[in-house]
Amino acid sequence: MAQAFEVQDQNESAYKVAEGFDYPRTVNEKLSLAMGFSRRSKDRALAVKDLDDLLFPKRDKQYDADMHTLTRELGQQGKNPPPIRDFEAYSQGLLRVLLGLMDRRNLLGGSDVEEEF
């Protein structure tokens, strides 16, 4: 009987590995987590930075330009990475940059039907 459970556990583990890494879902879960924190919290800023790290392979020239603008707006040019002093401004600005990147890379989900707002 114990061997049956062991084989079942091995099969479930193998299935999970074969299932793979659901990148779009993981990105959206991290976005949801970040949005759950208070705008002024260090936790939100750190969660948004985690999202930025997760989106690293999707970065493009527009991302670079947007980040340059953000660091200029925050008065932190020339520092890499810039020190975070205003967590709310940083997380809001970085979130705007990342949402643009996610939109360009079709990671925001939604449907194929265009909606007018």
pLDDT tens profile 61-78: 999 999 999 888 887 655
pLDDT greater at residue 78 or residue 103: 103
Q: Which two three-digit tokens encode residue 64?
A: 């670079």
Residues 80 and 82: their CA atoms lie apart, in Å, by 5
Report the mean per-residue pLDDT for the chain.
Answer: 80
Could you say which DSSP state residue 56 is in?
G
Is pLDDT of 104 > 90?
A: yes
Residue 2 confidence (pLDDT) above 80: no
pLDDT score, position 102: 95
Give the torsion sign (CA, 81, 107, 96, 104).
positive
